[in-house]
Each structure stands twice: as C-alpha cells, then as structure tokens.
C-alpha cells in the first residue's frame, strides 16, 4: 500500500507514468505541480452566534473570542456588525473572511447612501432591509462556494424586513439558507437551539414573546454555551433590533455563573469514575 | 480677449502666443451660467448649498438631487454642465472606493481633491477631449477620533508602541474648489456659478478663519448658506429655484461624521430667515429713499 495520502485514489505512477500536470493553471514561472487550491479550512475562528425573534424585533448575541485552533487568541473581537438601523449580521467561522465581508458590507452601505439619506427615519422605503441583506449575502456565499473558494463563515442576518416585521435567517459557507424564529450557528446549534426552542417553539410563540424575556433567554443561552463550549468566553456582544433601531452592547459579562454541575461530570480529566 | 478668432481657440491643449488655453477659458464661461453653488467651512463642519434653477415646471419638486455623496464623509456640489458634473461625481466615487480598498480607510478630503484636480487637469492636455464644463466644490470631514481600519476586529495591543503620537490633533472640516483648468485650492468659503460675485462678497463678511477665534458654527453656517444663496439669486429673480443644502459634521456632531441632507425643518427655518433678511434690506432701502 502507498502510505502517501495524496496518492490515494490516483492512477499509479508505476502503471500509468507520472501525472501530467501540463494542463493545470499556469502560475508565474511555469506549470505548477498541483491544481489551484483555495481555503481548505478556517484559521482564526469565532464560535456560535445565536438569535431569537420576539414580537417587535430580534435579539442576537455572540461572544468576543477569536480562537486560533484551541488557543483563545483574541479576546476583544466584535462579531456582531450593524449594517444600518434595520439590520445586524452575526459572524461565526473564519475571522479573516468576516473582515472581508465586513468591508464588502461597508462598501455596499456607501453605495446605498449615494442617492438617498438612509439615516432619515422618514425615508424607510429606500432603506435596505435585513431581508434584502440576507438575499445579498446568501448570493455572495453561494457564488464563492461555486467557485470552490468558500467564505468559511456561518452568518445570522437579523433585523426588520421591508414591512418592519422581525426577520431572522442564516447563510453559510455552502450558500445554504433557511429561516426560523430561533437560530444558532456552530456549537450553539446543538447546545443553545434546544433552549431557544423551549422558549419559542414556533412562529406564533415568537409573536407573543416580549423583548425582556427574549434578552433573558439569549443571555441564559450564552451562559450555557460558556459552560459547555470550550472555544467560548465569558464576554460577549448582544444586539436588539426593532423599530427604534439597533441597540448594540459589545462588552457584556456573563453573570450569576454556577459551576455546581462541574463535579458531576465524569469521563474527562484525571478522575477515574 | 484680443486673440479670439486667431485660430488658437479651436483645439484643446493648444496655447495661444500669449500663453492662454482658450478651450479652458470657454469652459469657465460654461460654469458662469450655472446656478450658484457655495461651500462654507465652519468650526465644526462643512455646509454645501446650491441654487437649483428649475428648468421646467414638469419636474417634481425636491426630486433630482444635485449635491452628491461621494463617500460617507464627503459631498460634492458643482455648477456648470450637469452631465460633466455627473461624470466628475462618478469618478470621485471610484477614487474614494479605490482608496478604501487600498488603504482600508476613508479617503482624506485633501487627497480626493488632489486626485480629482489631476483628473480634471488631464482633460486640458489632449485634443481628443474637452475640458470639464464645471467647477466643483468638494466638502468633507476627516475624522478626528482614532478610527480603526475598515473591517478591523478587536482593539490591538493595550501597551507598547502603536506608532501614534499622543495629543496630536488630526482631521477636521475641509473644503476645496476644483476649476475646469484643474486648479484647486482649499477654501474657508467657496462660491461658483452665476451669482458667485455677490456670494463671495457675502462669504468674505463671515468669520471663517479658525485662528481668529469665534469662527461660525455649523448651524450658523447653514443659515448663512441659505441667506447667501438667496442673495445670489437676487440678480436672476425672474427664474424659479430650489435651495438644496447638505452638511457634514464631526463624529460628535449632528450628522455623526456623515455627509447628509440638512433636515427639512432646519432648511425651512434657514429659508424663512433668509427671506426675512432680504425683505428687511428692501425695507431699509425704501426707508432711505423716503428720507
């Protein structure tokens, strides 16, 4: 057996001769031995983003950590980006791709403001809604995955749609999109989503939910995520989007933590059952 | 213009024997027919104002805005041939966005004026093109607060060298005017178009030099700008016009560092005061005559 994984599944050199790389893209200084490759894995990453719709708006949260593998590398990274007073984007996944998207959105915002004044509260028709923004970002993500050069993120786009109703949807590195009254990316999809769903099982329940409860549920989820997600931290950002605009807090601390459950955990570390 | 008709005015980029470029001078003439445009650099921001002459009664009121946003913090008003102005604005936007993609930061107003000056000047050099038939006033606010590069995450190291000198004040309000020749200067107050002479003499009366102390505030600037447009309109009173005004303040000010339209209430108030001050002048004159 050939122990070089790169050779697995390829025609054997001793039978067919060396691989002809002649047709591969021409790089500077001649033909390359390998095909062009793009990002195969993220480097510096952000963990979960969670969000919930309530009667008149949306609450979204993400912690302020950017990890380098398992190393907690950057501890003041803001992963919630307000686009305008109607939309906020939460970024999970690769941080450099998040920066690219942030610049893309910033140039989009400049273009949106060429012809009209978006900050004028009376001029709401021309303002790009969260729904428009989600459509745009989903197309960007899908285009990049179709180029085999994905942006390694999972995004939550939340805010208000063109009728000023709460809007929440996701787009990921494959260009997959879906919408639900509660959403969570990454580890949060396993750890926080069940808790969010307990508070808001369906669309009807979200229309009855008030802002205070929504914020409380999200804060509770951030705490659970910190307890159980090893790539998370205790400082996080939380944003509320409703008709009054975006209210973003970027230096929230987890309160009333209780690690009483910790000594019940078996199977890790030094203890022997 | 004694040497007009001697053949030196037929092609762009050709000097006359006494060292003039006639095509550029004719372009200036095109500007002199446009509605008056002014810019005022105040203590805490810039105001741009335009006397938009209504060319047809069929045009919707307050639509078809003429003062353009180039980047978040920069606005352009121009006077002269409107399509030339459109192209100028379009090029300015390209410059501003390419600056952002290169330096990950907003373009300083001085750099934008410099690049656009060079661009306009290039249109005086070739026989295949004609000079810009506009004079543009570029106003903007370079942020004084420390701004992150676009797309920055986190705040970087809290100690150690950051390459910044403490206590050095940077940024502020800036105003430039670019002429068809490509010539541009920075101004405290700039005026162009049909009513520029009377607008300039009004601008000269304002306290605009920040070194002299009590330089006028942005809100005063808005009111003065409206008044000056009304004064400049006096000579062509028979024609209808609309007043268009935009402003740019510091991040701490009313527009949060952005180039925006002056809010309707404030503009209407400024217009009311402007009309009142003109009526006041008329009464004074009438009073003098009676004496």
Between positions 22 and 81 of A, the ones with CB within 8 A of B are 66, 74-79
Encoding tokens for residue B110?
Answer: 């001085």
* A chain contacts of residue B153, beta-carbon cutoff 8 Å: 66, 74, 77-79, 95, 98-99
Chain B nearest-CA distance from A160, in A, is 23
Encoding tokens for residue B215?
Answer: 């330089």
Contact A126/B at CB under 8 A: no
By CA distance, what is B104's nearest residue in A? A103
Confidence class for position B291, pLDDT limits 50, 70, 90: very low
- ipTM score for this prediction: 0.86
By CA distance, what is A120's nearest residue in B? B263
- Residue ranges of chain B whose CB lies within 8 Å of a chain A CB: 65, 68-69, 71-72, 93, 96-97, 100-101, 104, 150-155, 258, 260-261, 263
Specify the CATH number for A44-250; select among 3.90.1640.10, 3.60.20.10, 3.30.450.150, 3.40.50.300. Answer: 3.60.20.10
- Residues with Cβ < 8 Å from A69, sequence gap 6 or more? none
Mean pLDDT score, A157-169: 96
> A3-12, A111-120, A141-150: which has the highest mean pLDDT?
A141-150
pLDDT, tens digit (0-9, with 9 covering 90-100), for B200-226:
999 999 999 988 778 999 999 999 999
Shortest CB distance from A76 goes to which of B68, B155, B260? B155
- pLDDT over 90 at B267, yes or no: yes
**DSSP per-residue string spanning A79-113:** -EEEEETTEEEEEEEEHHHHHHHHHHHHHHHHHHT
- pLDDT over 90 at A70, yes or no: yes
- pLDDT over 80 at A258, yes or no: yes
Task: Compute the Cα dihedral for B273, B278, B283, B288 and give only its sign.
Answer: positive
Encoding tokens for residue A226?
Answer: 């910190």
- pLDDT over 90 at A154, yes or no: yes
Confidence class for position A229, pLDDT limits 50, 70, 90: very high
Confidence class for position B7, pLDDT limits 50, 70, 90: confident
- At A29 the pLDDT is 53
- At B282 the pLDDT is 62
- pLDDT over 90 at A234, yes or no: yes
Determine the number of helices (DSSP H) and then strands (DSSP E) in chain B: 6, 10
- At B238 the pLDDT is 85
Domain ranges of chain A: 44-250
Burial of residue B26 (number of CB atoms within 10 Å: 0-12, 13-18, 19+):
middle
Asked if A91 and A63 count as a contact pair (C-beta separation under 8 A), the reply is no
Residue A135, CA distances (Å) to A105, A140, A199, A243, B201 in order: 13, 9, 28, 21, 53
Interchain proximity B260–A102, CB inside 8 Å: no
- At A116 the pLDDT is 61
pLDDT, tens digit (0-9, with 9 covering 90-100), for A81-128:
999 999 999 999 999 999 999 999 999 999 998 876 544 555 555 789
Confidence class for position A169, pLDDT limits 50, 70, 90: very high
- pLDDT over 80 at B3, yes or no: no
Nearest to B261 by CA among B93, B66, B34: B66
Chain A nearest-CA distance from B226, in A, is 20
Confidence class for position B284, pLDDT limits 50, 70, 90: low
Chain B nearest-CA distance from A271, in A, is 38
Dihedral over alpha carbons B155, B159, B164, B170 (to 10 degrees): 50
- pLDDT over 90 at B167, yes or no: no
Q: Determine the residue among A66, A100, A103, A104 to mutate to test chain B binding: the one whose Cβ has the most chain B Cβ atoms within 10 Å.
A: A103
Interchain proximity A107–B153, CB inside 8 Å: no
Interchain proximity A107–B97, CB inside 8 Å: yes
Residues of A serving a catalytic function are 39
Burial of residue B150 (number of CB atoms within 10 Å: 0-12, 13-18, 19+):
middle
Point out the least confidently predicted range of A40-44, A78-82, A202-206, A223-227: A40-44
Nearest to B116 by CA among B173, B187, B172, B176: B176
Chain A nearest-CA distance from B90, in A, is 10
- At B171 the pLDDT is 86
Interchain proximity A110–B153, CB inside 8 Å: no
Mean pLDDT score, A1-15: 78
Mean pLDDT score, B96-107: 94
User: Distance between CA atoms of B187 and B137, rounded to whole angstroms?
Assistant: 10
Point out the least confidently predicted range of A24-33, A44-53, B202-211, B242-251: A24-33
Shortest CB distance from B154 goes to which of A74, A100, A115? A74
Interchain proximity B153–A95, CB inside 8 Å: yes
- At A186 the pLDDT is 95
Interchain proximity B150–A102, CB inside 8 Å: yes
- At A34 the pLDDT is 64
Alpha helices in B164-217 (DSSP H): 196-205
- pLDDT over 80 at A157, yes or no: yes
**Mean per-residue pLDDT over chain B, rounded:** 90
Encoding tokens for residue B93?
Answer: 């936007």
- pLDDT over 90 at A9, yes or no: no
- At B210 the pLDDT is 85
- pLDDT over 60 at B1, yes or no: no
- Residues with Cβ < 8 Å from A90, sequence gap 6 or more? A49, A51, A60, A61, A62, A79, A80, A81, A155, A156, A157, A158, A185
pLDDT, tens digit (0-9, with 9 covering 90-100), for B233-248:
998 888 899 999 999 9
Q: Is B144 helix (H, G, I), strand (E, B) or coil?
A: coil
Per DSSP, B216 falls in state P
């Amino acid at each position: 057996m050939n122990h070089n994984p790169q050779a697995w599944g390829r025609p054997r050199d001793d039978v067919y001769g060396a691989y002809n790389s002649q047709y591969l893209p021409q790089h500077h200084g001649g033909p390359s031995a390998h095909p062009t490759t793009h990002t195969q894995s993220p480097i510096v990453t952000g963990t979960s983003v969670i969000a919930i719709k309530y009667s008149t708006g949306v609450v979204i949260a993400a912690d302020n950590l950017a990890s380098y593998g398992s190393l907690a590398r950057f501890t003041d990274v803001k992963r919630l980006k307000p686009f305008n007073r109607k939309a906020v984007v939460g970024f999970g996944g690769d941080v450099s791709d998040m920066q690219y998207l942030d610049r893309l959105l910033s140039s989009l915002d400049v273009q949106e403001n060429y012809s009209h004044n978006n900050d004028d509260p009376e001029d709401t028709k021309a303002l790009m809604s969260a729904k428009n923004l989600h459509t745009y970002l989903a197309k960007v993500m899908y285009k990049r995955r179709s180029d085999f050069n994905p942006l390694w993120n999972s995004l939550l786009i939340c805010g208000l749609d063109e009728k000023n109703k709460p809007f929440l949807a996701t787009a990921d590195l494959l260009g997959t999109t879906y919408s639900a009254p509660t959403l969570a990316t990454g580890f949060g999809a396993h750890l926080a989503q069940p808790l969010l769903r307990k508070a808001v099982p369906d669309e009807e329940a979200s229309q009855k939910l008030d802002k205070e409860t929504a914020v409380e549920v999200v804060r509770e989820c951030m705490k659970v995520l910190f307890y159980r997600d090893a790539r998370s931290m205790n400082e996080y950002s939380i944003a509320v989007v409703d008709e009054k605009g975006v209210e973003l807090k970027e230096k929230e601390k987890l309160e009333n933590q209780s690690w009483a459950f910790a000594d019940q955990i078996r199977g890790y570390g030094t203890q022997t059952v | 213009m004694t040497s007009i008709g001697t053949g030196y005015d037929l092609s762009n980029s050709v000097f006359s024997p006494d060292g003039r470029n006639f095509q550029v001078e004719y372009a200036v003439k095109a500007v002199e027919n446009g509605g008056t445009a002014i810019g005022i650099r105040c203590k805490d921001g810039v105001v741009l104002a335009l006397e938009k002459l209504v060319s047809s009664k069929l045009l919707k009121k307050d639509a078809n805005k003429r003062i353009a946003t180039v980047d978040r913090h920069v606005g352009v008003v121009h006077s002269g041939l409107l399509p030339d102005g459109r192209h100028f604005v379009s090029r300015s936007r390209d410059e501003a966005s390419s600056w952002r993609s290169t330096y990950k930061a907003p373009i300083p107003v001085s750099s934008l004026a410099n690049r656009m000056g060079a661009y306009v000047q290039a249109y005086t050099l070739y026989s295949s093109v004609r000079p810009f038939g506009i004079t543009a006033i570029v106003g903007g606010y370079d942020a004084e607060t420390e701004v992150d590069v676009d797309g920055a995450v986190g705040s970087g190291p809290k100690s150690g060298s950051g390459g910044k000198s403490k206590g050095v004040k940077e940024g502020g309000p800036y105003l430039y005017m670019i002429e068809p020749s490509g010539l541009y200067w920075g101004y405290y107050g700039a005026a162009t178009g049909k009513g520029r002479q009377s607008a300039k003499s009004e601008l000269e009366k304002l306290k605009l030099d920040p070194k002299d102390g009590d330089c006028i505030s942005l809100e005063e600037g808005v009111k003065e700008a409206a008044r000056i447009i009304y004064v400049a309109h006096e000579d062509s009173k028979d024609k209808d016009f609309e007043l268009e005004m935009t402003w740019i303040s510091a991040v701490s000010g009313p527009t949060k560092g952005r180039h925006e339209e002056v809010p309707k209430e404030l503009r209407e108030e400024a217009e009311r005061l402007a009309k009142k001050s003109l009526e006041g002048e008329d009464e004074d004159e009438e009073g003098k005559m009676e004496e």
